[in-house]
Amino acid sequence: QKEVEQNSGPLSVPEGAIASLNCTYSDRGSQSFFWYRQYSGKSPELIMSIYSNGDKEDGRFTAQLNKASQYVSLLIRDSQPSDSATYLCAVIAGAQKLVFGQGTRLTINP
C-alpha cells in the first residue's frame, strides 16, 4: 500500500462548479497535511495546510481532515479555468519528511 494515495484523474469539472479532490494516507501517526498546486512545468505551490480534524477554509479552498478515516480532501468552490493544474496531497510521515501522493490532474472546462 502506498503511503499517500490519490486518484490520478484526470478530473474534469465545469467552470463555476465545486471540484473535490481526495487523498488517503497509511501512517496513522501523521499529524500534518498539505495540498500543493502544480502547474505544468512549474514547481509545487503550497495552497493549504491542515493539522486538526475538521474543515479549514481559505478563500475558495476548503481542506477537510478526518484522522479516524485517514482521509484528507480539498474542495475548490466556483472553479475557474486558472485552477486547472495537478494537485499534490502531502503528509508529514516519520522522520518529519514530506511524502507526496502521485497527484490528481484537474481540468476546469469553460
Interface with another protein by CB under 8 A: which residues? 32, 34, 36, 41-46, 49, 51, 88, 90, 92, 96-98, 100-103
Nearer residue to another protein within complex by CB, 43 or 110:
43
User: Could you tell me which of 9, 13, 8, 6 has the C-alpha nearest to residue 81?
Assistant: 13
DSSP 93: -
Least distance between another protein and beta carbon 100 (Å) = 4
Nearer residue to another protein within complex by CB, 76 or 90:
90
Least distance between another protein and beta carbon 82 (Å) = 18
Q: Please say whether the beta carbons of 36 and 88 come within 8 A.
A: yes
Least distance between another protein and beta carbon 67 (Å) = 16
Give the strand pairing for 11-14 and 4-6.
unpaired
Q: Please say whether the beta carbons of 93 and 3 come within 8 A.
A: yes
Nearer residue to another protein within complex by CB, 17 or 32:
32
Report the C-alpha gap between 110 and 108 in whole angstroms. 6
